[in-house]
Amino acid sequence: MRIFRKYHRLIAVTASLPLLLTVITGVGYTIFDEWLHLDKIGGFLMQLHTLKILGLDEIYPVLNGIALIGLLVTGLSMTSLFKQRPQPKYVGDR
CB 32 within 8 Å of CB 45 = yes
pTM for the full model? Answer: 0.73
Residue 23 has pLDDT above 60, yes or no: yes
**pLDDT the model gives residue 77:** 85
Residue 94 has pLDDT above 60, yes or no: no
46-76 confidence digits (pLDDT tens): 999 999 999 999 999 999 999 999 999 999 8
Residues 73-92 have a mean pLDDT of 77
Find all residues with CB under 8 Å of 74, minimum gap 6, and list them: 4, 5, 7, 8, 11
| Residues found in the chain | 94
